[in-house]
A and B are shown apart, each in its own frame.
Chain A
C-alpha cells in the first residue's frame, strides 16, 4: 500500500458520554453507597435487606436531584422513571437467578448415577441418599410426555391449520376457545379427566389418562406456537402452489407444512416443556406408585412431579433431598427442551 495523504476518520461515537461527563454520575453512585453504608451502620437496619432498602431509594433520589440541578424537570422525571424501571427489572431477574441457583445447590448432593437405575419399590423416602432412585418416575414422565405428544400435536397442528389456512367463519371463535383453554387451571384438567373417564368408564388411573389431562394443557400451547410459525410462511409460497394447479390440501401438505417444519417441531417442544412439570392434574389421574410400571395403558404409574410432591410432603431431610434432586433432573429436562426450542426455533423475518 502506498502512503497517501488521505486520512480515514476514526469512527467516533458522539452519543457515548466522555469520562468527564461520567464523573457526576459516578460521584452520585459513590455517595449513595457511602450513605447506605453509614445508614446501615447507624440505624437498626441490618443485612442485605438493609443495604437494599437504603441504597435503591438513595441512588434514585440522588440521580433525580442531579438531573434536576443540571437540566430541567422533564429530564429529571425521565431519570427517575428509568431508575424505577431498572429496579423493576432487577426484581424480575432476582427470583429467576435465585431459583436456578437454589435448585442446583440443593439438588446436586443427591445427583448420583444410581438414581437413574433404581426405583423406590424397596426403599423408603426417608432412607439415606444413595439407595433408591427415580427411574420409575422418569419412565412415567417419558410415557405421559410421549402419549401427550401423540394426542396434542395432531390436534394442535390441525387447529392451527384451521386458524391460519382455512380461516373459516368460526376461526375467530375458535381462536378465543384456544385462548380460553390455555387459561384452564391445571387442576381442572385433572378433575375433568377424573370425572369424565374414571367416574364414567371402567378405565383406571394410568399414564394414558395422565396424558389425556396433560393434553388439555398442551394443545393450546402447541396451537398458538404453530400458528405463529404458520403465519410467518410467506403467502407467495401458498399462491405459488395454488397457481401451479395444486389443490389447497396439496399446497398445505407439500409446501406450507414442510416449510414450517422446524418451527412446528419447536411448537411441539414448547408444549412438552409446558407439561413436563405439571403436578396438579397428575395427582388425580396417574395413581402414583413407587415401582417401575412399563405398561403405560394399565395400572398406576409415577412421574417426576409426583415423586417431588411426595418427597416434599413427607418433609424429612432425606425425602426433601430426593425432591430437590428430582427437581434438578426435571429442570435440566425443561431447560434442555427450552434451549433446543430457542436454537432451532423460528426467527422473525427469516424462515
Chain B
C-alpha cells in the first residue's frame, strides 16, 4: 500500500474550516481542466528524452573520434589498409611512413569468429530446445543459472582458462583432426605447429558466445505460438515432430539473429583471444595451424610501443572493427525483431 503524500494532489485537501478564519484565500480554487502538459511534466519529459538521446550521441562520438583520429591513415593507405597484410612503420628523420594494413588481422577475426559460430550454434540451439521442451524444471533452472553465470564470467578468466586448461587439450584434438581428417583442406597444415591456432581461439570464443546464442534462441522458441504447438500434439506429434513443424520454422529467424549477435561478440573479443592466438601478419586459412590474426588483439599488442602514426593506424583499425560489429548487430537486431513481432 502506498501512503500518498499530500503534495500529490494539485489542490490541497479542503482544510478544516475554522469559523474565525473563513476567507476566500483558504477556499481551494477551481482546477483548470486541460490537456496541456504541466511544466513539471514538460521538464521531466525533456530531461528524460535528452538522456535517451545521449546514448545516440555517445555512439556517434565513438565513430566520429575514431574516424577523425584515424583519417590520416585512411587517406595515406587508401583502400589497401583493409587488404594489406604488412604492418611496418618506419620512422626516418621525423617523417613517418608506413606500409600497413589489417588484411591478415581482419581475415583472422572473421575466421576465428566463424569457427566459434560453427561450434557454438548447434550446441546453443540444441541446448535451447532441450531447456524449453525436454528438460524437467530443475534441470532447466540449473542450466539457466549456468548460462547466466557463463555470461557473467570476465573475459580475462576465459583467456587464462583457455591458455592453461583448454589449450593443452585442444592442441591434442587439433593433432587428431589433422591426422584423421587430412583430406579436408582447412585441416591441413604446412608445418606441424598447432599451438595458439585459430582453431583454439575459435573454441574459446565459442564458449564465450554460447550463453548469448542460447538465451536468444530460448527466448524466441518460448514465443512459438502455443495454439500451434497444442495443435501439433493433438494431431499425435511427438516432441521432435512438433519442434520440426512448429518451433523451428517460427524461430529460424530469431536463431539467425542470435547467431549474429554472438558473431558480433566474437569479433570484438580482445583479451581472451590474445592469450590463445599467435598473431602473424599473413593471411592464414589453415585453421589448425598456429598463426592467426585478430584486430582487437592486434590493437592491444601494438599499443605499448606504437608511435604517433601507428597509434592513428590502430585507431583506424578500431574504427573498422567498430563499423563491423555495428553492422552485424544492426542486421541481428532487425532479424530478431522481425521474429518477435511475428509472435503471438
Report the bound CA distance from A81 to B134 in whole Å. Answer: 11
Partner of B333, one of A163, A180, A192: A180
Across the interface, do B333 and A176 meet the contact criterion of CB distance under 8 Å? yes
Report the bound CA distance from A285 to B96 in whole Å. Answer: 25
Report the bound CA distance from A187 to B268 in whole Å. Answer: 7
Query: Given contacts A165-B48, A249-B41, A327-B160, are A192 and B66 in contact (CB under 8 A)?
Result: yes
Query: Given contacts A181-B55, A188-B66, A192-B62, are A96 and B325 in contact (CB under 8 A)?
Result: no
Interface string of B18-62 (1 = CB under 8 A from A): 000000000000000000011011011101110111111011011
Which stretch of A27-35, A57-65, A86-94 is in the interface?
A86-94
Report the bound CA distance from A102 to B131 in whole Å. Answer: 27
Which stretch of B85-93, B97-105, B151-159, B192-200 is in the interface?
B151-159
Q: Is B228 an interface residue (CB 8 A)?
A: no
Q: Which residue of A lies closest to B42 (CB)?
A: A249
Across the interface, do B48 and A279 meet the contact criterion of CB distance under 8 Å? no
List residues of B (266-325) whose CB comes within 8 Å of A's CBs. 267-271, 275, 296, 299-300, 303, 314-315, 318, 321-322, 325
- How many chain B residues touch A (CB < 8 A): the figure is 96
Across the interface, do A185 and B161 meet the contact criterion of CB distance under 8 Å? no
Q: Is A191 an interface residue (CB 8 A)?
A: yes
Q: Is B181 an interface residue (CB 8 A)?
A: no
Which stretch of A70-78, A109-117, A203-211, A260-268 is in the interface?
A70-78
Across the interface, do B303 and A283 meet the contact criterion of CB distance under 8 Å? yes
Q: Is B76 an interface residue (CB 8 A)?
A: no
Interface string of B126-151 (1 = CB under 8 A from A): 11011100110000000101111110
Measured CB to CB, the closest approach of chain A to B245, in angstroms, equals 11
**Chain B residues, CB < 8 A from A88:** 122-124, 126-127, 130
Across the interface, do A158 and B127 meet the contact criterion of CB distance under 8 Å? no
Across the interface, do A338 and B148 meet the contact criterion of CB distance under 8 Å? yes
Across the interface, do B275 and A162 meet the contact criterion of CB distance under 8 Å? no
Query: Given contacts A177-B56, A188-B268, are A330 and B154 in contact (CB under 8 A)?
Result: yes
A-B contact pairs, 13 of them (CB 8 A): A78-B239, A96-B150, A177-B59, A178-B55, A180-B59, A180-B326, A183-B264, A247-B37, A247-B38, A279-B155, A279-B270, A327-B156, A334-B153
Measured CB to CB, the closest approach of chain A to B122, in angstroms, equals 7
Across the interface, do A99 and B153 meet the contact criterion of CB distance under 8 Å? yes
Across the interface, do A155 and B330 meet the contact criterion of CB distance under 8 Å? no
Across the interface, do B328 and A183 meet the contact criterion of CB distance under 8 Å? yes
Query: Given contacts A74-B241, A92-B127, A280-B296, are A330 and B157 in contact (CB under 8 A)?
Result: yes
Report the bound CA distance from A92 to B214 in whole Å. Answer: 10
Across the interface, do B122 and A185 meet the contact criterion of CB distance under 8 Å? no
Across the interface, do A244 and B8 meet the contact criterion of CB distance under 8 Å? yes
Partner of A305, one of B11, B52, B154: B154
Report the bound CA distance from A191 to B150 in whole Å. Answer: 26
Partner of B329, one of A180, A248, A274: A180
Query: Given contacts A85-B126, A166-B45, A244-B8, are A195 and B66 in contact (CB under 8 A)?
Result: yes
Across the interface, do A74 and B238 meet the contact criterion of CB distance under 8 Å? yes
The 10 residue pairs across chains A and B that have the minimum distance between CB atoms? A277-B154, A185-B268, A162-B52, A88-B126, A158-B51, A85-B130, A249-B44, A183-B329, A280-B270, A78-B240
**Chain A residues, CB < 8 A from B62:** 184, 188-189, 192, 216
List residues of B (190-232) whose CB comes within 8 Å of A's CBs. 207, 210, 214
Interface string of A262-305 (1 = CB under 8 A from B): 00000000000110111110011000000000000000000001
Across the interface, do A184 and B271 meet the contact criterion of CB distance under 8 Å? no
Measured CB to CB, the closest approach of chain A to B306, in angstroms, equals 11
Q: Which residue of B lies closest to A308 (CB)?
A: B156
Partner of A273, one of B69, B152, B328: B152
Q: Is A84 an interface residue (CB 8 A)?
A: yes
Report the bound CA distance from A171 to B51 in whole Å. Answer: 12
Q: Is B112 an interface residue (CB 8 A)?
A: no
**Chain B residues, CB < 8 A from A177:** 55-56, 59
Partner of B48, one of A81, A93, A166, A195: A166
Across the interface, do A185 and B5 meet the contact criterion of CB distance under 8 Å? no
Across the interface, do B271 and A248 meet the contact criterion of CB distance under 8 Å? no
Q: Which residue of B lies closest to A248 (CB)?
A: B41
**Chain A residues, CB < 8 A from B44:** 247-249, 252
Report the bound CA distance from A85 to B127 in whole Å. Answer: 6
Q: Is A51 an interface residue (CB 8 A)?
A: no
Across the interface, do A99 and B299 meet the contact criterion of CB distance under 8 Å? no
Known contacts A179-B333, A335-B149, then 5 further A-B pairs from the complex at CB < 8 Å, ordered by chain A residue: A85-B127, A181-B58, A183-B326, A279-B155, A323-B160
